[in-house]
Structure 1
Amino acid sequence: MRAIQYRTIGREPELVDIPTPEPGPGQVLLQVTAAGVCHSDAFLMGLPREQYTFGLPLTLGHEGAGRVAAVGAGVDDGLLGVNALVYGPWGCGQCWHCAQGMENYCSRAADLGIVPPGLGAPGAIAEYMIVDSPRHLVPIGELDPVTTVPLTDAGLTPYHAITRSLGKLRAGSSAVVIGAGGLGHVAIQLLRHLSPARVIALDVSEDKLELARSVGAHEVLRSDAGAAEGVRRFTGPAGAALVLDFVGMQPTLDLSMAVAGVGSDVAIVGLGDGQAAAQVGFFRGAYETNVAVPYWGARHELIELVDLARQGVLDIAVERFDLDDGVEAYRRLLAGTLRGRAVIVP
């Protein structure tokens, strides 16, 4: 089969031919129908050799959708032909967090060597992929896998970050979205659907600000040196009740803390360069500002997102690429010229 793999430190990924895998006991073989491209991939491919821990060669893609083509021993063959999304943050299935469906926070994954597809295990940007357990499949029925596959990360991550703060998003409050790209434009739609808050979106790209407007942002601002003052003109002295930073660079973290109000939540979602840090403490922000680094989301939250998709709530902007053009999708990602999410269709 064909797959896009990261094979050499410091080089761009490659389209290669590799053996088609076979499912082992308890596993599922998925014929991939869509796979998303994410900034997390670019982050790991940008790591120097001494910091890279994901194994080589690595088949990329932690956003996956497909049709069940075969099952291993012990798996119900009634799954054959089912169209499903892949829940990516695999866990042990047995610890306290996994028992709550929060495999994204599995307490045993590191000790057991459990890693997500595309982030250690072979990923979805291939013609076929192995899913370690049928519990990591979320059926989508007749939904289009190309427009639905971003839910597995670009939808799930902001959904998890938002729902934990819904109690603070009352009428008259403000939510700030920094970065209106693949995850940010989904966050705007979720905020509009789930809360009465005024949504203020910031980005450095006029195209992405226009995308933010088109999906429902009440206000848009260029993310520059005057951004904090601009946000405060809309929020007033109360500041923002929730700030979602989908960039994660030092300037955006500083901006997040500058616009957050008393008792607010700041969610650092973007990886940035992996070096940035929010400055917290007395005289460094509003009182009782809660700063968190949420990671992906729970299995039940992905099921809820699929239900929202069935209701027509979400309109995720995607650019479709064939597998032959998948490397170009990564080039466009690095150049910042994608509108929404890139989806590769084998």
Structure 2
Amino acid sequence: MRAIVFENFKTFPSLKDVDKPTPGPGEVLLKVAGAGACHSDVAIYDTFEEGSPGAQKPPFVLGHENSGWVEEVGEGVEGFTKGDAYLVYGPIGCQRCRACSRGQDTYCENAATNPYMGIGLGRDGGMAEYVSVPARNLVPLGDADPIAAAPLSDAGLTPYHAIKLALPQLAGGGKYALVIGLGGLGQLGVQILTALTGATIIATDMKEDAMATAEAAGAITVPGGPDQVEQIREITGGKGVDAAFDFVGVSGTIDAAMRSMALQGRCTIVGIAGGTFEWSFFTNPYEATLTNTYWGTIEELHEVVDLYRAGQIEPEVERFSLENGLDAYRKMEAGELTGRAVVVPHEA
């Protein structure tokens, strides 16, 4: 079968022929419906170096945002019907620690000794015609479109997890939420905030088209710039935002988020760009929290699918055939994508 493969560090991936996987015990073989291209993939092949924290040993098929139709089941697997559509929970932990027992494989206590981080993260992923995954990692989609759903497994789950943890700060009237960075995750973050809270949503980015999309979803937008924080605080009547979600994660965006915070607010850094922030007792609003999150739980992915099937969230996707799948990464690196790139292996 054809697949997009990460073959070596600091090397652009290749489109090549590989063996079709066979599902092992407890696994299901999916005919891939869609595979989302994520900036984390770029980090895998272009940022990480061999032996560095988070680096996954090549070669393997990329793609950790996947959906597909049941093709075949492995030994011991029951309850799946060929042709049914599922979304794939990407992380794979040890399955025996406390974190894994609650479905939070991303925080597995044995991550350092696991053979890989997940599907498309050390283990063959979904940028291929077929992918084999643990049956436990499948979330049913019913009759919902699996191609458009593919990005939800990361671009939907990651903001959902961050927002759900901040719901206490956003409960009640007169609350404000700030979204920084209106790429795939940020746009879904605006939609999720609309679905889960009654907060006024403020969204900021440098791209006018991205801000227009956020406005259509109900956000008030503020362009990036030197008076960005002043405008945000003006919208909140001077008090600042109760919760901020930074989907970029550079030093400048973290600083803008923290200077926009209200007393007892919660600022969550979701973007993994390596930014830093200098904290001071005298500048930090009292009891304002600066934290970070990573991905989410499999239970939360079920909840994300519920929102999707109810029509409350809808990823904006740009489709690519598998043969043109490398163009998705080229366009992503160049900043030319308007939505989430989804590779569709079985569509011309």
Q: Taking structure 1 as the reference length, what is the TM-score of the superposition?
A: 0.95
* Residue range with higher mean Cα deviation, 325-334 or 95-104: 95-104
Aligned to 1:271: 272
| Paired residue secondary structure (1:267) | strand
| Paired residue secondary structure (1:229) | helix
User: Aligned letter for 1:40?
Assistant: S
> Which ranges in structure 1 are unaligned for 5 or more consecutive residues?
none
In structure 2, what is the Cα distance between the partners aligned to 1:281 and 1:101? 36
| Paired residue secondary structure (1:266) | strand
Give the C-alpha shift of residue 145 in structure 1: 0.9
The answer (yes or no) to whether the contact 2:87–2:153 under 8 Å persists in 1 is yes
In structure 1, what is the Cα distance between the partners aligned to 2:339 and 2:291? 25
Give the C-alpha shift of residue 114 in structure 1: 4.0
Aligned to 2:183: 181
Query: For residues 65-121 of structure 1, what are the alpha-carbon distances to aligned partners after superposition, in whole Å with 9 as ceiling and x for unaligned?
Result: 011212221222644333101101112222222222222222123323342111211
The answer (yes or no) to whether the contact 1:97–1:107 under 8 Å persists in 2 is yes
Return the match for 1:109 from 108, 111, 130: 111
Aligned to 1:289: 288
> Which ranges in structure 2 are unaligned for 5 or more consecutive residues?
none
In structure 2, what is the Cα distance between the partners aligned to 1:53 and 1:103? 17
User: Aligned letter for 2:305?
Assistant: V
Percent of residue pairs identical:
43
User: Aligned letter for 2:28?
Assistant: V
Return the match for 1:121 from 107, 120, 123: 123
Give the C-alpha shift of residue 9 in structure 1: 2.6
User: Aligned letter for 1:278?
Assistant: F
In structure 1, what is the Cα distance between the partners aligned to 2:239 and 2:174? 10
User: Aligned letter for 1:146?
Assistant: I
Aligned to 1:19: 19
1:74-89 mapped onto 2 (5 Å cutoff):
74-76=76-78, 78-89=80-91
| Paired residue secondary structure (2:3) | strand
The answer (yes or no) to whether the contact 2:70–2:80 under 8 Å persists in 1 is no
The answer (yes or no) to whether the contact 1:176–1:200 under 8 Å persists in 2 is yes
Aligned to 1:324: 323
* Residue range with higher mean Cα deviation, 300-309 or 99-108: 99-108
Aligned to 1:213: 215
Aligned to 2:155: 154
Give the C-alpha shift of residue 28 in structure 1: 1.7
| Paired residue secondary structure (1:183) | helix
Aligned to 1:37: 37
User: Aligned letter for 1:60?
Assistant: L
Structure 2 vs 1, CA of residues 26 and 265 (structure 1 numbering), >3 Å: closer, same or farther? same
User: Aligned letter for 2:175?
Assistant: S
* Residue range with higher mean Cα deviation, 239-248 or 208-217: 208-217
Aligned to 2:98: 96
Aligned to 2:245: 244
| Paired residue secondary structure (2:221) | strand
The answer (yes or no) to whether the contact 2:56–2:116 under 8 Å persists in 1 is no
Give the C-alpha shift of residue 177 in structure 1: 0.3
User: Aligned letter for 2:259?
Assistant: A
In structure 1, what is the Cα distance between the partners aligned to 2:89 and 2:331? 25
In structure 2, what is the Cα distance between the partners aligned to 1:282 and 1:57? 47
Count of aligned pairs between the two proteins: 342
Structure 2 vs 1, CA of residues 229 and 304 (structure 1 numbering), >3 Å: closer, same or farther? same
Aligned to 2:233: 232
User: Aligned letter for 2:288?
Assistant: T
Aligned to 1:309: 308
| Paired residue secondary structure (1:213) | helix
In structure 1, what is the Cα distance between the partners aligned to 2:193 and 2:322? 33
The answer (yes or no) to whether the contact 1:185–1:340 under 8 Å persists in 2 is no
Give the C-alpha shift of residue 230 in structure 1: 1.5
Give the C-alpha shift of residue 48 in structure 1: 5.0
| Paired residue secondary structure (2:91) | coil
Query: For residues 146-188 of structure 1, what are the alpha-carbon distances to aligned partners after superposition, in whole Å with 9 as ceiling and x for unaligned?
Result: 1111110111011110011111113211100000110000010
The answer (yes or no) to whether the contact 1:177–1:199 under 8 Å persists in 2 is yes
The answer (yes or no) to whether the contact 1:180–1:203 under 8 Å persists in 2 is yes
* Residue range with higher mean Cα deviation, 276-285 or 228-237: 276-285
Aligned to 1:71: 73
In structure 1, what is the Cα distance between the partners aligned to 2:9 and 2:298? 33
* Residue range with higher mean Cα deviation, 98-107 or 63-72: 98-107
Q: CA RMSD in A?
A: 1.5
Aligned to 2:338: 339
Query: For residues 22-66 of structure 1, what are the alpha-carbon distances to aligned partners after superposition, in whole Å with 9 as ceiling and x for unaligned?
Result: 112222211111100111112222225343721222311100001
